[in-house]
Structures are given as structure tokens and as C-alpha cells.
């Protein structure tokens, strides 16, 4: 074990070791990420891990929290060896982590995210009252201003960070690990966090703190451990080392100059901005940047800096004049801005700067791919040679062009975002927070690339929340506040306190601003209302139009017939929805239901009774669901392919069972009542539908199993980090779907007085898909909903009925159903920019 060169001032006998690593190793194919790490963490201390990106910090943390299993070595908690098979095991041992990327389920509210994987249950149902109260208390503790009922997808990055920290605090950790917790927080929010951490320390909780911000580390922690190239370099007491010594240890060499800005002769004016405005985010901004100049944009959170960058890049509508080398630039999109000569290194590198599933080579060459193409054919040799040179120039680690980008550290990902623009024809480079979450060594490389770009004659706009790096790297700094540029100052003689004083200056918002804020809130509320209820209004308008054109459509008898027809479709659609919830897909829904109808009809017609027929039909559905789950989980067949196979198997078994003949039932009044009976004017099948919807709604929304199924379908990474088992969720999802489909098949037999020999299962599939996806637009969160599915199915039945009354042929109905399916998916995509649960391939 590597010990600190300086000892804690308390007697050794008074210091308890709460966490110890002995010879921890972790290897991946071709990479040794951890190489014999020996480490000792004391109880009740705040202990920092620092190191360059790729030094092994994140890998070590994932080993300590059960995400990765170590390749060698031993972990001891309070002196006892432990082995974590999952994050849930680590949490059971008292180790809780707040991840840098705040993996959360966007469609869940804060409460469900906070308690995901450890839900509080009372009487078999989720105890939302208790969970919400504990969540509100934790949010108040971290100074959050949003409620526990807020949807995570509607929160800002900083608010998500606070929600993740609150979630960790509710777990009452003995060891709390925070990975870059302040990267997206304001100064006030960061100070609130530091106060909480100091309080936890006083209560005996150990905190492991990972950050690239050395100033806050020296202000907060007790000891600092430096990692480099997968090895532990040293551990120091914070009051007996220095910032420069830590930097030297991190990079393995002395950094004589943290900010490698060099004097560069400035050329003519490259960019002129006059009166640029974008809503209330950017207001009457005027600035100019010369060739070779680095212009800094300083400001606090919400000052409008990123919005200014987006307006220049054509990503948002704007007013005002922008000229590039004297030519007016009015790009209608980022692509047009690129053609004009703009290049953007965005703040959110993972989602806006990279295609993380592509390789390093593919990401680097993506913006300039046309230079390697001739007549549509890509010259791979030239592309590889060019990207290899960039990898060497940028010092990307590991230097492997075939490496998947999502597996790289944050600093190396940022190098790729910058490097992809270096050989283009860009005249203005906009760097938006390029060093956020990046280690000291990578920061220096980024600064050097920025300097090289300026030296080549480009104009550089450098947006940063780190005022020190703006002073160190820029020729001039413009300070923004509330969308305005307050002042532009030369960097010579400028210091951080002066910048901070300007950024925080100004009078409170005037009455006009307050009224505009109120109006904006009102517009957002109206937009949310229309988004949620627009589909319902559209459905009602369509049905009303059909009722006007075909008066018989709204006759009570026809209305109840529509409800009866729609209830049957709804039952099948609910089976499909149950499979979709956990991220699956079920092509076999119609065929499984039809086979169940055949089995029920044959059993009842053979004299074995109604109970046997229903039981056999439901049992067939259960086995079909079990088969689908087995194919997906055990054999790793994509759900679409697996259930497509099941569909043909079920269709073949149906024909084998009925010998190609319809199975017609006679004199079965009790069984026929299930599909054709009425309680007064209400079809009995509609009552059955209400019962099934209520049961499924309780299962999916009010039980631990249901919430975990949704979590797996909507954000598998977040679910797994919370210890949720994907195999269990997928198994429960397919089995639930199968049982519902088997039951729907028996109801189909009662509705149809038997079973058809025709293969009608595919028609049911199209209608069920349309109902499931259309139902997502009726949900507040835009997620799959059993209530929305049932309502959509009734609507589709009404639409089909109305079209027939209007004289449209039955032959046209499949095409119309297909059109509704496409429109349903588009509504879902517009509503939440994607259907989270659905994974077809």
C-alpha cells in the first residue's frame, strides 16, 4: 500500500480505515486501466482523486461501486474483504455514488428517480407519499428550487446534478463518491454542496471527491490521491502540498505555464456582429473579432453566452447583422453556418459534439468527409492517414482510430470535437466551455490547439465560466449579463475579481422584464397544455366530423358497437404495450391471440367446458411470452426478429390445429356473453377492458416491478446503475404481454362465435401498433400508457366504423391504419423527441 508522505496529525490509533484497496487491477482488451492500486481511505475524511483524463479515476470508482469487477486485487470495507457483483451490492455496503453524467430516467419525476432500485412499498404498492416527502426533504437540503414531482427531462443540467446529489443523500451513505459534482453548478449551488459535504464529514461520513477544479479541492478536502496511467502516484495531506506540486504529479512533468498563450500578430477584422438579438436570451449584442485574436465571453449561468453561440451558428432565429470578412452571414442552420466558415465546439460534447457510437476515425473525419470521397466512394486509406495524423497531433489516448468514442475519457472526447474542425475551411472558431470536466493536462492541450487555430489566422471566440482561464488565454474579454454585453476589456492587466465584479453588477430586473417573464411562463404553460391535449382534441374533431357527415355514426346503438369493437382491439394493443414498456417489441401479438382463439374454440367445442378453453388460451399466451423472453434474453436475438419468428410459428400452429377450417361454436350462451353480452346498454367486453386497464395501470405505475420495467425501457444505463435487473424486467414484460394476449384471444373467440381460419393476426398487429403509439401522445410524460392505448384503440375502431358508414371500402382500411400508425409515431416523436421504450433492432 502506498502511504502518504505526510501523516495525519491525529494519532494513528485514532484513525479508522473505512475503505482499502490492495493491488487493484482492471484490464480491458488492449488496455490496462488500473495497475496494482493500493489505497487507504479514512473514516470521516473528504478524500480527493485527481489525475488527467484516462488516469484511471473513473475506472477505480466503477470498481469500488460494483459497475466493474476487478481483474485482480482485493477491496476491504471496514477491514472485511468484499466483492461487489452490482451497484446494488455496493450500496448495501454503504457506498453511494453521484455520477458525472447524472444517469437518470427522463420520463420519470424526481421522486421515482431518487428511489429507483430501492422503492418504498406498502401493502404491495409503492408508497409515493413517503417517497415524495423524503425527496422533498433531500431537495431542500441541497437548495433545489424545483419540486419532487418535476419531470427530470424538463430539468436543466444543473438541476439534474442537484437531483442526483439529493438521491444520494436519501441513501444515508457511509461512503459518498462524487464524480465532478460542480461541473454544471453555479457558485451558490456549489457552496451549498460544500456545506453539506462538510456536515456529512462531521457526522462521520467519508466522502471521495473527484474534480478537475483544484481550487475547490484545496478548499474542501483533507487528503489528495494522484492517479496517473492507471497507477497511484502519491497521497498527500492537503495542507502540506501545493497546487503546482499536484499538477506536476498529475502530468508527470512540470507545467511551466498553465496557459500557453503566445503573442500572435492580429490581422484585419474577421467577424463583425451588430445588434444581434435572439428572444430575451441575446439582446442587442455587438462585437468584433480580428484574425488571430482570441475573444473571451465571460458571464454567470444564464447570461446568454451559449445562446449567443447558437445564434451565430444559425441554430436559433435571430435579428441583427453578422458579417464574416465583410460578407453578410445569415445561416438558416448549423450546416449553412459551417459553409459560411463557422466552427462550433459545443458545451455538451456527448450529445451535440460527437456521435458516440462511431469510432474515433469516423468522428474526426465526419465534418470534412467529402474531401475523402470521389463519386460517392470513400478513400479509406486517405481518411485513415489523415485521422492518424490528427490523433498523434492531439495526443488522443488510447491512440487507436478504431476505438468507440463513447469509451474514451471526457478530455479525449473533447480533443476529438476540436480536432474534427482543424483541417476544414473554418474562419471563426467558437469554443463553448471546452474545458468543462477536463483534466489539467488535457486543458493545456486544448489551449494549445486554440492558439494554433488563432496562429493560422482564424478568429476565436472562447466562452468559459472559468474566469481565470479567460484572463490567461484571451486578448480581450467581453462580459455578458442577462443577454447584454456590459463591457469589453483588454486582457492585459485584467484579473478575475474585476471580471466577477462586472458579471455580478447591474440593477434588479425592471417591471417590464418581470411582466415579460410572467408572459413567458404563461406561454410555456399553454404550450404544455396544447401538447398534452392536442391529440385528444384532434380525435374529437375527427369523430365529430364523421358524425356530421354520417348521422348514424353518433346513434347510441352504433356508439356502443364501436366501444365493443374497440375493446377487443384494445385488449390486443394492451398486450403489445406490455411488451414495449421494457424496451421490447412483439410482432406476434395478433398471431398469438388468434392461436389462443383457436385453442379456446376447439376446447369448448370439444365439450371440455368454458373454464378449460379460457385456461388453455391464457396458458398459450403465457408460453408464447416465455418463449419470446427466452429468445431475447438467452439467445440475445433482437426482439423484432425473435417475435417475428414467434408470429410465424403461432400462425403455423393455428393452421395445424384447425386444419385450415373455421372453428364455429354453437349453443354457448355463457361464453358468447363475454364477447357479445351487455349489462344494460354497456358491452360486457368494455367492462372487461376497464378491469384489465385498471390491473395493468396498477402494475406498471404503482408497483416496484412496473416502475423497473419502465426504467429498463426508457434508460437502461440508469436502471442498471441503480441495480435494476434487465432480464427480470424483460421477462416480466413479455410474460405479462403473453397473458394479456392469451386472454384477448379467448375474448376474440367469444366475440366471433369461434375462430377464423384466415390469418388475421397481421391486421391486428397494425392496429395494435397504431393504438400503442397514438396512446403515448395522451400521456403527460409522452411514455407508453395503458390508459392512452385503450383510448386510442376505441378511437381507431370509431374511425374504421365511421369510414365504412361514409362508404369507404373495407379494402382501404389497412392502408388507412398504416397511415394512422405513421402519424401516431410522429406524434410521439414530436411530443418527446423519441419513444424511449421502443428498441426494434
Of 539, 535, 533, 537, whose CA–CA distance to 799 is shortest? 539
Alpha-carbon distances, residue 588 vs 96, 117, 578 (angstroms): 42, 31, 13
Q: Name 474's Cβ contacts closer than 8 Å, sequence gap at least 6.
A: 261, 294, 295, 296, 462, 491
The sheet that has 484-490: what strands, in order across it? 342-345, 428-432, 459-463, 294-298, 476-481, 484-490
Note whether 4 and 10 are within 8 A (CB).
Answer: no
122 — alpha (psi -120 to 50), left (phi > 0) or beta? beta
E strands along 433-511, which residues?
459-463, 476-481, 484-490
Could you confirm whether domain 566-832 is CATH 1.10.3470? yes
User: In the structure grid, which three cell numbers stand for residue 537, read together?
Assistant: 382534441
Rounded-to-integer distance, Cα 806 and Cα 809, Å: 9
**Given this model, what pLDDT does residue 299 score?**
84
Question: CA nearest 429: which of 420, 442, 438?
Answer: 420
Predicted local distance difference test score (pLDDT) of residue 215: 83
According to the model, what pLDDT value does residue 13 have?
Answer: 41
Instruction: Please indicate, yes or no, whether the overall pTM of this predicted structure exceeds 0.85.
Output: no
Q: Are 343 and 379 in contact (CB under 8 A)?
A: no
* Residues in a beta bridge with 294: 460
Give me the average pLDDT of each 10-residue run along the chain (841 residues): 35 70 88 91 95 82 93 95 92 90 87 95 96 96 91 83 92 93 79 91 94 87 93 94 85 64 91 90 92 91 84 88 92 87 79 74 79 78 84 80 79 78 80 81 83 91 87 93 90 82 57 42 47 75 91 94 96 96 93 96 95 96 97 94 94 92 94 96 96 97 97 91 92 97 97 86 84 84 89 93 86 74 63 48 37
**661 phi-psi bin (left φ>0, alpha ψ -120 to 50, beta other):** beta
* In contact, 177 and 64? CB cutoff 8 Å: yes
CATH of 1-94+174-181+205-253, one of 3.50.50.60, 3.40.50.300, 2.40.50.140, 3.90.180.10: 3.40.50.300
For residue 98, report the phi and psi dihedrals to the nearest 5 degrees: -110, 110
- Structure confidence at residue 829 (pLDDT): 54
In sequence order, what are the residues at sequence separation of 6 or more whose Cβ sits closer than 8 angstroms to the Cβ of residue 770? 792, 796, 817, 820, 821, 824
Kindly report, as residue ranges, where domains of CATH 3.40.50.300 are found in the chain.
1-94+174-181+205-253, 269-353+426-511
Would you say domain 269-353+426-511 falls under CATH 1.10.1740.10? no
Residues of the chain with CATH 1.10.3470: 566-832
Amino acid at each position: 500500500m502506498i502511504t502518504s508522505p505526510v501523516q495525519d496529525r491525529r494519532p494513528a490509533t485514532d484513525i479508522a480505515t473505512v475503505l482499502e484497496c490492495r493491488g487493484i487491477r482492471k484490464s480491458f482488451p488492449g488496455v490496462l486501466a488500473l495497475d496494482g492500486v493500493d489505497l487507504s481511505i479514512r473514516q470521516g475524511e473528504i478524500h480527493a482523486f485527481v489525475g488527467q483524463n484516462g488516469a484511471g479515476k473513473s475506472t477505480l470508482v466503477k470498481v469500488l461501486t460494483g459497475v466493474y469487477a476487478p481483474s485482480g486485487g482485493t477491496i476491504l470495507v471496514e477491514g472485511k474483504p468484499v466483492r461487489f457483483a452490482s451497484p446494488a451490492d455496493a450500496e448495501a455496503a454503504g457506498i453511494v455514488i453521484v455520477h458525472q453524467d447524472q444517469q437518470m430516467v427522463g420520463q420519470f419525476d424526481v421522486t421515482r428517480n431518487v428511489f429507483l432500485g430501492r422503492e418504498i412499498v406498502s401493502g404491495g404498492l409503492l408508497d409515493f407519499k413517503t417517497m415524495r416527502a423524503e425527496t422533498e426533504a433531500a431537495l431542500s437540503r441541497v437548495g433545489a428550487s424545483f419540486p419532487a414531482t418535476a419531470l427530470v427531462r424538463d430539468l436543466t443540467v444543473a438541476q439534474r446534478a442537484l437531483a442526483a446529489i439529493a438521491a444520494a443523500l436519501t441513501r444515508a451513505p457511509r461512503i459518498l463518491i462524487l464524480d465532478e459534482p460542480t461541473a454544471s453548478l453555479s457558485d451558490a449551488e456549489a457552496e451549498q454542496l460544500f456545506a453539506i459535504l462538510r456536515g456529512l464529514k462531521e457526522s462521520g461520513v467519508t466522502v471521495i471527491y473527484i474534480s478537475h477544479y483544484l481550487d475547490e479541492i484545496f478548499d474542501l478536502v483533507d487528503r489528495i490521491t494522484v492517479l496517473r496511467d492507471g497507477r497511484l502516484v502519491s497521497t498527500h495531506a492537503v495542507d502540506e502540498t501545493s497546487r503546482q506540486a499536484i499538477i506536476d504529479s498529475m502530468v508527470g512533468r512540470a507545467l511551466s505555464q498553465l496557459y500557453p498563450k503566445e503573442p500572435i500578430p492580429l490581422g484585419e477584422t474577421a467577424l463583425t456582429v451588430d445588434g444581434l438579438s435572439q428572444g430575451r436570451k441575446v439582446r442587442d449584442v455587438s462585437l468584433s473579432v480580428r484574425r488571430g485574436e482570441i475573444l473571451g465571453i465571460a458571464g454567470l449561468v444564464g447570461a446568454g453566452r451559449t445562446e449567443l453561440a447558437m445564434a451565430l451558428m444559425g441554430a436559433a432565429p435571430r435579428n441583427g447583422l453578422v458579417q464574416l470578412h465583410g460578407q453578410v452571414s445569415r445561416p438558416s442552420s448549423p450546416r449553412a453556418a459551417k459553409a459560411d466558415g463557422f466552427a462550433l465546439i459545443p458545451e455538451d460534447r456527448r450529445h451535440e459534439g460527437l456521435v458516440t457510437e462511431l469510432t474515433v476515425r469516423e468522428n474526426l473525419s465526419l465534418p470534412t468527409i467529402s474531401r475523402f470521397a470521389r463519386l460517392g466512394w470513400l478513400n479509406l486509406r486517405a481518411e485513415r492517414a489523415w485521422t492518424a495524423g490528427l490523433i498523434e497531433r492531439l495526443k488522443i489516448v488510447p491512440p487507436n482510430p478504431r476505438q468507440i468514442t463513447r469509451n474514451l475519457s471526457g478530455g479525449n472526447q473533447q480533443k476529438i470535437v476540436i480536432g474534427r474542425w482543424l483541417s476544414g475551411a473554418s474562419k471563426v472558431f467558437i469554443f463553448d466551455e471546452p474545458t468543462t470536466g477536463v483534466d489539467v493536462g488535457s486543458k493545456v492541450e486544448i489551449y494549445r490547439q486554440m492558439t494554433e487555430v488563432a496562429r493560422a489566422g482564424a478568429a476565436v471566440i472562447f466562452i468559459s465560466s472559468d474566469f481565470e482561464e479567460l484572463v490567461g488565454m484571451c486578448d480581450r474579454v467581453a462580459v455578458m449579463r442577462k443577454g447584454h454585453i456590459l463591457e469589453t476589456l483588454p486582457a492585459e492587466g485584467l484579473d478575475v475579481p474585476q471580471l466577477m465584479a462586472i458579471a455580478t453588477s447591474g440593477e434588479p430586473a425592471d417591471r417590464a422584464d418581470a411582466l415579460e417573464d410572467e408572459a413567458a411562463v404563461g406561454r410555456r404553460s399553454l404550450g404544455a397544455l396544447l401538447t398534452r391535449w392536442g391529440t385528444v382534441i384532434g380525435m374529437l374533431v375527427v369523430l365529430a366530423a364523421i358524425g356530421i357527415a354520417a348521422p348514424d355514426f353518433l346513434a347510441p346503438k352504433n356508439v356502443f358497437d364501436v366501444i365493443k369493437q374497440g375493446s377487443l382491439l384494445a385488449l390486443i394493443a394492451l398486450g403489445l404495450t406490455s411488451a414495449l414498456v421494457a424496451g421490447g417489441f412483439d410482432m406476434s401479438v395478433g398471431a398469438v391471440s388468434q392461436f389462443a382463439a383457436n385453442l379456446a374454440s376447439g376446447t369448448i367445442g370439444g365439450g371440455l367446458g368454458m373454464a378449460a378453453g379460457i385456461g388453455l388460451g391464457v396458458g398459450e399466451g403465457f408460453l408464447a411470452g416465455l418463449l419470446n423472453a427466452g429468445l431475447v434474453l438467452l439467445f440475445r436475438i433482437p426482439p423484432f426478429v425473435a417475435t417475428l419468428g414467434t408470429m410465424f410459428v403461432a400462425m403455423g400452429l393455428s393452421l395445424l390445429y384447425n386444419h385450415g377450417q373455421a372453428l364455429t361454436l354453437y349453443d354457448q350462451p355463457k361464453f358468447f356473453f363475454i364477447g357479445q353480452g351487455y349489462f344494460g346498454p354497456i358491452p360486457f367486453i368494455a367492462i372487461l377492458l376497464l378491469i384489465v386497464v385498471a390491473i395493468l395501470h396498477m402494475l406498471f405505475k404503482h408497483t416496484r416491478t412496473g416502475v423497473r420495467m419502465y426504467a429498463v425501457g426508457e434508460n437502461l444505463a440508469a436502471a442498471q446503475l441503480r441495480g435494476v435487473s434487465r432480464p427480470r424486467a424483460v421477462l416480466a414484460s413479455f410474460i405479462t404481454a403473453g397473458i394479456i394476449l392469451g386472454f384477448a384471444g379467448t375474448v376474440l373467440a367469444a366475440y366471433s362465435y369461434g375462430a377464423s381460419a384466415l390469418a388475421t393476426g397481421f391486421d391486428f398487429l397494425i392496429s395494435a401498433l397504431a393504438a400503442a403509439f397514438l396512446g403515448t401522445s395522451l400521456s403527460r410524460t409522452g411514455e407508453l400508457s395503458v390508459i392512452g392505448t385503450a383510448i386510442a384503440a376505441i378511437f381507431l375502431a370509431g374511425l374504421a366504423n365511421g369510414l365504412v358508414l361514409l362508404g369507404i371500402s373495407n379494402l382501404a382500411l389497412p392502408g388507412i391504419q398504416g397511415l394512422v400508425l405513421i402519424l401516431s409515431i410522429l406524434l410521439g416523436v414530436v411530443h418527446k423527441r423519441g419513444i424511449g421504450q421502443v428498441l426494434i433492432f
